Amino acid sequence: MRRKMEENTRDVEADSETGGEDALVGNVNKLTVSPPGYSGVPRKGHLVFDACFESGNLGRVDYISDFEFDLFIRPDTCNPRFRVWFNFTVENIRETQRVIFNVVNFSKTKSLYRDGMSPVVKSTSRPKWQRLPAKNVYYYRCPDHRRNYVMSFAFCFDREDDVYQFAYCYPYTYTRLQHYLASLERRNLPYLQREQLGLSVQQRRLDLLTVTNLDHVNSEREKKLVFLTARVHPGESPASFVCQGVIDFLVSQHPVAQILRDHVIFKIVPMLNPDGVYLGNYRCSLMGFDLNRHWQDPSPWAHPTLHAVKQLIVQMNQDPSVSLEFYIDVHAHSTMLNGFMYGNVFEDEERVQRQAVFPRLLCQNAPDFSFSNTSFNRDVVKAGTGRRFLGGLLDDTSYCYTLEVSFYSYMTAGSAAPVPYSEESYMKLGSNVARTFLDYYKLNNLIKDNIPHQLRSTDVMPKPIKNNTGKGAGVGRNTADREKEKNQNVRH
């Protein structure tokens, strides 16, 4: 069907786990892709690819024709198993030049590209990220690549002087986080503290934010504490937008935020894997570790950020003046829609019911959150995750969740088609997570009647929850779900 030039052919019998990209150890660096045999000065339309920038990822480009190029994702550093995240630029284009890019070496077979997801694009003259039209994106098993799954997308360049950037999802870099946290510090908010909890292997900051009203915290009563982390998996960039949404709301002057700061201490680690984020990895740290499988015994030299966070949580759990009530680890999901949660399985049925309270309340407050996708499991492969390990470490008044949000979109009650997530709607989910603690702690009566708010309180017991051993089935909530949840009773 397509003719590959002999100069660009590679060994297609290579180990399938590595996808045949053993040589892909770095990103392309201002790589000009000219027709085979061409030796002159590159012309307009001889595309120049680059991924040598923060969070960039593109390991190789094969010329198929003037209009078609095969793109190879660079595997995570020191770990060839993971090839999902891509982020690269294209320049030296010709106006109205039409191309097809084939991303040919994904390590996962299941993908939201089957369900309408598309890459995001921006250019120098249009710096806001936008999703490509779904009609221009195809996901299929390709005989030319050992029947691996390939994502192809068509694109028409329209401005010759622009540099175009394409990515798997909206990037959120380590540098962006540092600028954001520095801007918060400059506001000198009395209820916000930023500290360096540790350093990564490559000496990047591990930041810890504490948000609370210190005047109230210094009182005699026991302090309720919520601990939240994000970006343990570096390619899951939506987690950073959700986390920023939580932070933005908690430090705001919204009356709900003021009440929460008076009654709760929030500890937030916005980026658990700064090296992986900086390097453009999808799943792993610099040294090739999936940090979310090493909570049981993190190494201070191989997993220093995880080691520091675990030490802090253990220390706070032993502090009699603090009640560590929540641990929430924020992720993004590559095959499901909506926001949803994973929780743990307990033998005590009452604890099972209590664990379901927070996701039920969040479902009422966030239209993109699906309780029907939320599940509670004890999968063996998840034993080293933060949710599972801390769920066993903390006492039975503490609840540990993984909060997942789709890389792509969400369904709402009565909607006929999925609504693609934007940076803003990811942040909105974060603010709704923060607001839900008002309901959970029954602080609604402290909101003045004349101040509108979307949160509702409820005092009754939920319908019994079944413990699932796998992921939630179905996507989104239907109208029946919403009506049932409104009428169900929950007990804190």
Tokens found for residue 389: 């390990």
Nearest to 492 by CA among 430, 429, 444: 444
DSSP alpha helix (H) spans, 187-317: 214-217, 238-250, 255-263, 274-279, 304-317
Helix axes 423-440, 357-365, angle to 10 degrees: 130
- Look at phi and psi of residue 280 and say left if phi exceeds 0, alpha if psi is from -120 to 50, else beta: left
DSSP alpha helix (H) spans, 441-490: 479-487
Contacts of 437 (CB under 8 A, 6+ apart): 226, 260, 264
The span from the CA of 329 to the CA of 281, in Å, is 19
Burial of 231 (0-12, 13-18, 19+ CB in 10 A): buried
* CA-based torsion, 371, 375, 376, 382: positive or negative: negative
* CA-based torsion, 72, 76, 81, 87: positive or negative: negative
Which run of H or E residues covers position 205? strand 205-211
Tokens found for residue 377: 């499991």
Note if 17 is an active site residue: no
CB contact at 8 A, 411 and 481? no
**C-alpha distances out from residue 105 to 22, 26, 148, 480, Å:** 12, 15, 7, 41
Position 428: which residue type?
A: K
3-state secondary structure of 61: strand
Number of alpha helices (DSSP H) and beta strands (DSSP E) in the chain: 11, 21
Reported in sequence order, the residue ranges of 357-426 that DSSP labels E, i.e. its strands, are 375-376, 399-406, 409-410, 419-420
- List the 87-91 sheet strands across, edge first: 31-32, 48-50, 87-91, 164-167, 120-123, 126-131
Position 168: which residue type?
A: Y
- The residue annotated as part of the active site, out of 21, 91, 236, 404, is 404
Q: What share of the chain is helix, strand, coil (3-state, %, to 5)?
A: 25, 25, 50
CA–centroid distance for 298 within its chain: 22
The span from the CA of 59 to the CA of 26, in Å, is 6
Parallel/antiparallel/unpaired status of strands 60-65 and 68-72: antiparallel
Active site residues per annotation: 404
